Structure 1
Amino acid sequence: MFQMRVCRLIVGMVAVLCVAGFMLQPATAARYKVLVVMSYDETYPFEAEMREGIEAALAEMCEMTYFYMNTKKHFEGGPQKAKEAYALYHELQPDGVIAADDDAQAMFVVPYLKDQLKTPVMFCGVNAEPEKYGYPASNVSGILERGHDRESLALLLQLAPSVKTFGRIVKDTPMSRADVKTVQQDVEAAGLTYIDFNLPATLQEALDLVETYRERCDVLLVSTLQGIPDENGNPMTNRAAIARVVTAFGKPTIGSTLSDVRDGALCAVIQSGQEQGHTAAEMLLKALKGSPVPEIPITRNKFGRRIINVDTMKALSISPKPLVIRNAELVKTEP
């Protein structure tokens, strides 16, 4: 009799736990559908970082669908990709949208979503001034991407205080054209002379420019070469293109991303794609939970990380004075 009561008690407890588990399941399941439209492709390092930040903020509460426009490698196909993204939007009927980088704003958000829907849209990785896209809008806000070039130059001057003249090479894109004045102001604020700025269309054009830069510039800023055509017309990865340019220059170079420095640039104070993605995702969550989008102000990135390529430093025979940089330190930068 006692054993039967124990068995019934156990069965009853199991039944209660099963019911409780079933009742709790919806609370942990994805509650929102989110469409994420990335301007570039999955191999672009900054896109991968932004995706990490988005998923860190939304994975427990949202079901994400990613769409890549691939405009770094095939800019001319961007408008068609934007149409496909809009068709996917109608198919999914998402609760919210995240749009990464400038091309997604110009080709997708502005023509199809801005002020035309109630669906909240948050951008990240935007280099142009928000007014270019009519932001903020009734359903659009987000986080701007601002480089830490002034901080990168300050770091470079600690490593190589004798540098005086500065040049820049970056692939010709709307994003790279958007910050020309800002970079020039940062260079002049650091006490350097801004010599030249070029937007090569091919790798060979970039290498030809480097030939002249070697005579005219002490330091070169090189970044965002993803998709630039090689000698055979094939789009290159950012990693391969940066390595070729840095090797050809043979003098101090600074980058703007972790991959730039990993692939040969001397140093940088890098932006965090994770910060971009995470911030946009948190802003979207506020909207999904009821905050009106116009009450969620546009912001900008605040943190950077100092990094140095020691192999490049040795190859350039740079022997700086003692310089202590904590590897895990996040540096808050000025607006």
Structure 2
Amino acid sequence: TKAVVVPFYKDGSLPFVFCGLNWDASRYGFPCKNVTGMVEVAPVKELLEHLKPYAKGNRLGVIGADVETNHKETEAYRKILGLQFEEYYTKSVEDFKKGFLELQAKVDMILIDSDGGLYNSAADDLKAFFLANTKVPTGTCYDFMTPYVLMGFTKLAEEQGLWSAGAALKILDGTAPSDIPVVKNKEGALIVNAKIAKALGAQIPFAMLQSAAQVIE
């Protein structure tokens, strides 16, 4: 996008539909007369709505590997979603455990961001740790982190593909890209970790379990 569309085609006659631009399209100068699309955002607020019934308050903590992507994500949570939270960036598996326990003593809910693939070799160890030590509702927007949390609410790639295809068809039918508003993804897949729920003593409604995309047992 930055290397091709912006320098060579922006505001030209050739239409473009984007998807997968994270959080804010305005940094690319979009939308413009020949570009529209779907901005990709993490469904954090939707996830928190699922967690709140099991929390004693609204204090939020965020923990994730100390990688650039997670720093950018938490900045977006704060600036774009308007969330306030304690944060902890982990340097190792043991630091992940330490940071989680520290956060848990301060907050009512914890959002676990990506481990960046850094802790894959310790997956079994971490599953056992979170099962034994989780005392507050936890959630993630990454499907590969759901073995460690109470609930996951993850983006659906299909939503972006279907919307983009629909927008392209409208353009082919004569609608100007500038007449198709830029939108954000809204849909998500709910994943419930029944093991963590049992350890927490959280009573998950049967209807929620039925509607979940996955139940980890």
Counterpart of 1:256 in structure 2 is 141
1:112 equivalent in structure 2: 4
Aligned to 2:20: 125
Q: Is the 8 A contact 1:114 1:138 kept in 2?
A: no
- In 2, distance between residues paired with 1:156 and 1:205? 25
Computed over aligned residues only, the root mean square deviation of the Cα atoms, in angstroms, reads: 3.6
Cα distance change, pair 288–226 in 1 and its aligned pair in 2 (3 A): farther
Say which SS state the counterpart of residue 8 (structure 2) adopts.
coil
Aligned to 1:151: 46
Q: Retained in 2: the 8 A contact 1:213–1:249?
A: no
Instruction: Percent identity, please.
Output: 22
Check 1:161–1:205 CA distance in 2 against 1; reply closer, same or farther (3 A cut).
closer
What residue in structure 2 maps to residue 310 of structure 1?
194
Say if 2:197 and 2:203, in contact at 8 Å, map to a contact too.
Answer: no
> Retained in 2: the 8 A contact 1:242–1:260?
no
Is 2:65 the partner of 1:181? no
Equivalent position of 1:223 in the other structure = 113
Distance in 2 separating the partners of 1:175 and 1:285? 33
How far did residue 298 of structure 1 move? 0.7
On the 8 A contact 2:197/2:204 being kept in 1, the answer is no
Alignment partners' CA distance in 1, 2:127 and 2:172: 43
Equivalent positions of 1:186-201 (< 5 A) are 186=83, 194=85, 196-200=86-90
Question: What is the TM-score with the length of structure 1 in the denominator?
Answer: 0.50
Select the residue among 271, 279, 287 that pairs with 2:163. 279
Amino acid at match of 2:154: I
Give yes or no for contact 1:143–1:300 (8 Å, CA) kept in 2.
yes
Structure of larger gyration radius: 1
Deviations 1:77-105 (A, max 9, x none): xxxxxxxxxxxxxxxxxxxxxxxxxxxxx
Corresponding position: 1:170 with 2:53: no
Question: How far apart in 2 are the matches of 1:184 and 1:247?
Answer: 30
Alpha-carbon distance between aligned partners in 2 of 1:329 and 1:266, rounded to the nearest angstrom: 13
> CA 1:329 to 1:254, structure 2 compared with 1: closer, same or farther past 3 Å?
closer
Q: Tell me by how many angstroms 1:179 deviates.
A: 1.6
Give ranges in structure 2 of 5+ residues lacking alignment. Answer: none
- Counterpart CA distance in 2 for 1:254 and 1:277 is 26
Structure 1 distance, partners of 2:35, 2:128, is 39
Q: TM-score, normalised by structure 2?
A: 0.71
Question: Using CA pairs below 8 Å that are at least 6 residues apart, which structure has the higher relative contact order?
Answer: 2
Q: Where in structure 1 are there 5+ consecutive unaligned residues?
A: 1-108, 188-193, 231-235, 331-335
The residue that corresponds to 2:207 in the other structure is: 324
> In 1, are the aligned partners of 2:131 and 2:199 still within 8 Å (CA)?
no
Separation (CA, whole Å) in 2 of partners of 1:296 and 1:328: 32
Question: Is this contact kept in 2: 1:223–1:242, CA < 8 A?
Answer: no
Preserved contact between residue 43 and residue 186 of structure 2 (Cα < 8 Å)? no
Alignment of 1:198-209 (within 5 A): 198-200=88-90, 203=93, 205-209=95-99
Q: Distance in 2 between matches of 1:308 and 1:129?
A: 29
The residue type paired with residue 112 of structure 1 is V
Runs of 4+ in 1 over 6 A off after TM superposition: 239-242
Q: Is the 8 A contact 2:55 2:108 kept in 1?
A: no
TM-superposition CA deviations, 1:131-152 (whole Å, max 9, x none): 1221113443211223333332
Total equivalences in the alignment:
205
